[in-house]
Structure 1
Amino acid sequence: MEEGFKNWCGLFEGHPHVHSFHVTDPLREALAERARSEAQRLISEEDTAEGNEGEP
């Protein structure tokens, strides 16, 4: 077992199991993407509304 720049693992090198630090949360990622796209939509609507202020 080497400690250093790698994350420490007590299993043999090259073992097939994943680590808890490699696990992702698909729901969290989906919610974050939804929030990003909603923010982008709101910003683009604001930009469009500001550009139309001079029109009658």
Structure 2
Amino acid sequence: MRAVECPCGEYLDGSNDTQLFESARRHADQEHEGKYTDADLRILISTAAYDAGREATG
């Protein structure tokens, strides 16, 4: 699971960076109409996304 926080504080996640981008795009379109370009979101993901929700095995 990959995750990132939107600058507004909303937690966004996806199973990989592609799905994380899709989640971020939906959020941006619904909550920040016209404010963030695809490039803005890709930069956010490349600089601030992290692995989240991994369960320990063993």
Structures share a fold, TM > 0.5? no
Q: TM-score, normalization: structure 1?
A: 0.30
Q: TM-score, normalization: structure 2?
A: 0.29
Structure of greater relative contact order (alpha carbons < 8 Å, 6+ residues apart): 2
Select the structure that is richer in helix.
1
